[in-house]
Amino acid sequence: MHIVREAKSSEYSQLGELMVDVYSRLEGFPSPTEIPDYYNSLRNVGDFLNSPNTKLFVAISNKGKIDGGLVYFGDLNYYGAGEESTHKQQAAAFRLLAVNPKIRGKGLGKLLVNACFEQAGKEGFSHLVIHSTKYMMVAWKMYERMGFVRFPEIDFEKSGVQVYGFRYSL
């Protein structure tokens, strides 16, 4: 059993290490030595909170362990991914979804995304946008099952990685 809530400052480093672990295991995805700035941003995930309307959501086990998390953005000017086409969207977004590989398939990703649906709704948004890659097909399939649709208007390429946009209508 897990609960989803905003992360406490004492949990930022644990969440960051989980994110580094998860993303560095993605088959074919660039390694920490290939894109060190990206992994540094994962490791220091709490720094995202320096931007307005940004939240870190975590999935906490009944033993108090962080088993998942993501970064929610209520202002796309601070989203930090994509091009101008992404920043112009009148939508909320999330990035960097990570779930402990040992307990994947238990619904934690869905719980975290549902927290974003709820937060975006509270903030008056009618859409939630995200990006994914072919390296993240487990998440990609989950997004589609949850009702996200491809949104090529916000696709982009960075560091040799093609990144695909998705949108959910609230």
- Alpha helices by DSSP H, listed for 79-155, are 84-87, 108-122, 137-146
- What is the domain count for the chain? 1
Domain that holds residue 34: 2-169
Query: What pLDDT was estimated at residue 36?
Result: 95
Residue type (1 letter), 38: Y
For residue 6 the two structure tokens come to 């905003």
Kindly report the pTM of this predicted structure: 0.95
Domain harbouring 93, CATH code: 3.40.630.30
Please tell me the predicted confidence (pLDDT) of residue 88: 84
Tell me what pLDDT residue 110 has: 97
pLDDT at 158: 84
Query: pLDDT value at position 83?
Result: 76
Could you tell me the mean pLDDT of each successive run of 10 residues in the chain, 170 residues long? 96 98 94 94 97 97 96 94 83 96 93 98 97 92 96 90 95
pLDDT at 160: 82
